[in-house]
């Protein structure tokens, strides 16, 4: 495929709107995966979160990929397109050519994947996840699209951090609300 620009302002607006209008991280990332797959006319998209303890990627959302491919085995950071975890976007424009970064090249071929773009999801200079785009044909992604995708990955990083913060605050508020309720109830009953 030619190195034509595929990310239009309309795609960018739709994706950023999906991110900005959702407090639920699962819903937001699933919507994002669908929008990117359809908007870029690619095979699929997956959003992974990095488990810092196990050093493995855990699937947060995907679209266009089979369950068999998604459950092929653990994605270890040292083996699965490692450069991404150093904050560098990686473009494997043709997986038919040997690429040392691919952890499961045979499974990718069986899935019908011909190219992969792996982008770090970074927040506060820390890789917190990975955005991966999978194409069914060889893909020479344009520099402009790669830059746009890096911006989107940064927005996803902000959204992931916001969602975690939001959920933490609500959990704390719920616990505090129950604590105040438990402490106040006996006092009110004694009057």
pLDDT in tens, 145-174: 899 899 888 888 888 887 777 777 878 888
Q: Phi and psi dihedrals of 83, rounded to 5?
A: -60, -30
Percent of the chain predicted with pLDDT > 70 = 89
**Tokens at 107, concatenated:** 């499974």
What DSSP designation does 82 have?
G
Average pLDDT over residues 20-28: 80
Q: CA–CA distance from 107 to each of 69, 110, 157 (Å)?
A: 7, 5, 28
Domains of the chain, start order:
9-162 (3.30.450.40)
CA 152 to chain centre: 10
Q: Say whether pTM exceeds 0.85.
A: no
């Amino acid at each position: 495929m030619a190195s034509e620009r595929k990310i239009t302002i309309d795609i960018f607006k739709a994706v950023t709107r999906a991110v900005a209008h959702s407090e639920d991280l699962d819903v937001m990332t699933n919507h994002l995966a669908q929008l990117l797959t359809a908007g870029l006319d690619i095979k699929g998209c997956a959003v992974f979160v990095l488990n810092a303890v196990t050093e493995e990627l855990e699937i947060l959302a995907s679209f266009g990929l089979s369950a068999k491919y998604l459950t092929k085995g653990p994605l270890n950071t040292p083996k699965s397109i490692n450069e991404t975890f150093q904050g560098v976007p990686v473009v494997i424009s043709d997986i038919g050519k040997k690429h040392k970064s691919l952890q499961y090249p045979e499974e990718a071929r069986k899935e019908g994947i011909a190219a992969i773009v792996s982008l770090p999801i970074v927040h506060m200079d820390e890789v917190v996840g990975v955005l991966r785009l999978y194409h069914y044909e060889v893909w020479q992604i344009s520099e402009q699209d790669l830059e746009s995708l890096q911006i989107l990955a940064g927005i996803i990083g902000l959204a992931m951090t916001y969602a975690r913060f939001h959920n933490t605050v609500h959990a704390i508020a719920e616990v505090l609300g129950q604590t105040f309720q438990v402490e106040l109830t006996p006092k009110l009953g004694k009057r």
